[in-house]
Amino acid sequence: MPARFYPPADANCAHCQGVSYVVRPQGERALASVCECVPDCPRCGGSGRVLIETDSLVRVGRCRCQMLPDRIRLFNAANIPSRHASSSFMGFDTSAEGVMPAFFAAMSWVQDYKPREENQGMVFWGQVGRGKTHLLIATLRELIFQHGVPVRFVEFSRLLGALKEAYSAGRSDTEILRSLADVPVLGIDELGKGRLSDWELTIIDEVISRRYNGMGCVLGTSNYRPGSPTGAPPPNLAKPAFESQTLGDRVGWRVFSRLEQMCTFVQARGSDYRRLKGKRLRQAGPRLAPVSAKRKV
């Protein structure tokens, strides 16, 4: 159920569908803003502050209309990629066979989340194109707008790239890794991806160990089935690695053991969404109408 913000949005708004905010791609990141259908606050007139009288004392307090801008700031700090600006539970395609268990698991997890307590994490796993990243980001999005929880999204290979850039600029990795350790909920996309160099294994061990020791919550996705290391070597290029190797093979025994203790593994089934989407676009191509310009908010 969407959070109820004050003053309420237009339930029939074509831009936000009544949730009070819109999310659009801007550069590499998806950024949120207050929808234009939300009226000026009648309590504070848009100042964000109100006078509160208690026991004959008058003090200045924050107006409840500031909940929405506060949560928009949290979303804009989460580093959600532009590609997933529209990734939400409402936007998840539930028509494909086999997708509902993972969808319901994600929604139930959000509803059961307890702020300021230790929460069991969740890792979506399965073959490529099964909607794992969509579900991960939809979960992060709901945590922000329902519960006001600070979250961070990171794609593992992009994290490695950011660390290399820091090293090249003469900076240490301390600030980047601390930010991933301190946030209440960390979403890691593509666990197990990479060349498995000693340095890459050291980085994922550092991130997971700091989350584990700090009792931080981890959400994630992986193409690899959950399992302890088997010692299976990476297959040749004719066969995908996830068909022969486990997540333990990719991240190592220590990291997998901690993930197993910290998270529930949820398999994402169904058809390849990317292929289905491409097929639908090809079929609809000749009938596509020009996209009208959206109003500026």
pLDDT by residue (tens digit) across 120-152? 999 999 998 899 999 999 999 999 999 999 999
Position 8 scores a pLDDT of 95
**Residue in the block written with tokens 């319901």:** 104
Round to whole Å and give the CA distance between 139 and 228. Answer: 27
pLDDT by residue (tens digit) across 165-193? 999 999 999 999 999 999 999 999 999 99
pLDDT at 296 over 50: no
**Residue in the block written with tokens 């949120």:** 32
Position 240 scores a pLDDT of 61
Q: Among 73-87, 156-170, 188-202, 236-250, whose mean pLDDT is lowest?
A: 236-250
Type of residue at 20: S
Position 237 scores a pLDDT of 55
Instruction: Please state the three-class secondary structure of 123-149 as a single string.
Output: EEECCCCCCHHHHHHHHHHHHHHHHCC
pLDDT by residue (tens digit) across 45-75? 889 999 887 777 878 899 999 999 999 999 9
Position 278 scores a pLDDT of 52
Round to whole Å and give the CA distance between 48 and 6. Answer: 12
Round to whole Å and give the CA distance between 77 and 68. Answer: 14
Beta bridge partners of 152: 186
39, 133, 30: which is closest to 78 by C-alpha? 30
Indicate the helix (H) or strand (E) that contains 220: strand 217-222
**Contacts of 67 by beta carbon, 8 Å cutoff, 6+ apart:** 3, 5, 6, 148
CB 123 within 8 A of CB 266: yes
Type of residue at 204: I
CB 292 within 8 A of CB 30: no
Predicted structure pTM score? 0.87
Average the pLDDT over 200-225 and give the result. Answer: 96
> What are the structural domain ranges in the chain?
1-76, 86-275
Beta bridge partners of 187: 153, 219
Six token digits for residue 136:
């991960």
| φ/ψ (deg, to 5) at 284 | -90, -10
Domain 86-275 in this protein, CATH class: alpha beta
Type of residue at 149: V
CB 129 within 8 A of CB 275: yes
CB 221 within 8 A of CB 204: no
Mean pLDDT of the chain: 88
